[in-house]
Amino acid sequence: MIGRLNHVAIAVPDLDAAAAQYRSTLGATVGERQDEPAHGVTVVFITLPNTKIELLHPLGANSPIAGFLEKNPSGGIHHICYEVDDILAARDRLRDAGARVLGDGEPKIGAHGKPVLFLHPKDFTGTLIELEQA
C-alpha cells in the first residue's frame, strides 16, 4: 500500500538557523519558508536526491509543534511521510486493520498541495506517520 518515502519531518526551535545549517554546513538545497496555517506550522523543505527533509516550526500558539518542542527543546524527528496512490482507499484499509487516523479522518491539503492524513503513533511503534496522496 505505501509507496516511496516522501519526507522526514524534523521539528526545530529556530527555523532560520536550521535552514542555514542545512544550506551552509551540509550543502543542501533549501527551499523557501511556507506558512501552513491549516496545520499550525511554518515549513522549509530540504531537497535531497532520494527524498526531502521537512523542517517544522510552530505557527501560532496552538501549533502541535509547540507542544513537541516543549518536550524536546532541541527539536527532533516529528514524523515520516509515505506516499500512497489513493489516500481514501488507504485510510479505509488502515481503519479496517484497526489503525487510528488522527483528526476527523478526512484528508487535509498538506504543504505540497496534496491530500494528507496522519496515523496515531501508538499504532506504528511510536512513530507519527503522515500519508500523502502521490
Residue numbers annotated as active site: 130
What does 15-64 look like in DSSP terms, one character per residue? HHHHHHIIIIIS--EE---EEETTTTEEEEEEE-SS-EEEEEEE-STT-H
CA distance 114 to 107: 9
Q: Are 56 and 11 in contact (CB under 8 A)?
A: yes
